[in-house]
């Protein structure tokens, strides 16, 4: 799997966006159902298709259900890029297709002091989530080629920086050179195993074990 890059990018991204490594409250995760067969588990950068029911912990009110509201279809999202609340990014890792989990998510990993819609400020949320399908996320072989602007099968710091700039824009964050440079340094520290100043296709592809 081509996710080595994500494994380092995401902690760097979170670090850069929040500026501090304060210990964060944890998501409580209970497995409600685990399928017998599990040939792959979710990782950062994967695309997940889920059905979910969300409840307020305070009084058990359901505030959203993908099965009962809207078009009643399950929803796709990419794990680990803050497309969803932090509690989902943290709580839906290492999950098998078909698995069901119950997550209890503190407000700081959900909608915080402001709340949102039917969710009052400072709410702890409970989600029951069924993972229907896992697909490879955008960081695959194709994305290496997309990043490698001069086709020399290795990524320079400026190529990675350019890619980060585009990714930030795509996800609606304003580009910020200072942040991107710090992220690039972080990424190279972890990914450039032979310290030659480039991330080779092999270094990019190779699974890192840090997480």
Ligand X SMILES: *[C@@H]1O[C@H](CO)[C@@H](O)[C@H](O)[C@H]1NC(C)=O
Task: Rule CB under 6 A: choose which of 32, 35, 58, 69 binds ligand X.
Answer: 58
Query: Does 59 interact with ligand X (rule: CB under 6 A)?
Result: yes
- 31 burial (CB, 10 Å; 0-12 / 13-18 / 19+) is exposed
Q: Which is nearer to ligand X, 21 or 39 (CB)?
A: 21
Q: Which is nearer to Ca ion, 57 or 146 (CB)?
A: 146
In the three-class reduction of DSSP (H, G, I as helix; E, B as strand; rest coil), residue 92 is classed as coil
**For residue 141, what are its two tokens?**
């072989």
Footprint (CB under 6 A) of ligand X, residues 69-128 = 120
Query: Does 46 interact with Ca ion (rule: CB under 5 A)?
Result: no
Q: Which is nearer to Ca ion, 6 or 198 (CB)?
A: 198
> Where would I find the beta strands (DSSP E) of 37-173?
47-56, 62-65, 75-78, 100-105, 125-135, 154-155
In the three-class reduction of DSSP (H, G, I as helix; E, B as strand; rest coil), residue 184 is classed as helix
The least CB distance from residue 210 to ligand X, in Å, is: 23
- Mark 129-168 with x for binding to ligand X (rule: CB under 6 A) and - for no binding: ----------------------------------------
How far apart, in whole angstroms, are the C-alpha atoms of residue 185 and residue 20? 17
Binding site for ligand X (CB under 6 A): 56, 58-59, 61, 120, 176, 178-179
């Amino acid at each position: 799997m081509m996710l080595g890059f994500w494994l380092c990018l995401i902690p760097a991204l979170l670090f850069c966006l929040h500026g501090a490594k304060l210990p964060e409250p944890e998501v409580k995760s209970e497995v409600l159902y685990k399928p017998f067969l599990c040939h792959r588990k979710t990782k950062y950068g994967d695309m997940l298709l889920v059905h979910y029911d969300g409840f307020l912990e305070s009084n058990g009110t359901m505030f959203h259900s993908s099965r009962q509201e809207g078009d009643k279809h399950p929803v796709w999202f990419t794990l680990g890029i803050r497309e969803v609340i932090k509690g989902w990014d943290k709580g839906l890792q290492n999950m098998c297709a078909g698995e069901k989990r119950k997550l209890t998510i503190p407000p700081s990993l959900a909608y915080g002091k402001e709340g949102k819609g039917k969710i009052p400020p400072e709410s702890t949320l409970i989600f029951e989530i069924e993972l229907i399908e896992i697909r490879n996320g955008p960081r695959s072989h194709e994305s290496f080629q997309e990043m490698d602007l001069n086709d020399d099968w290795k990524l320079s710091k400026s190529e990675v920086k350019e890619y980060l700039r585009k990714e930030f824009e795509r996800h609606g964050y304003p580009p910020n050179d200072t942040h991107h440079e710090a992220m690039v340094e972080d990424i190279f520290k972890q990914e450039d195993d032979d310290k030659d100043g480039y991330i080779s296709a092999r270094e990019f592809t190779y699974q890192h074990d840090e997480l």
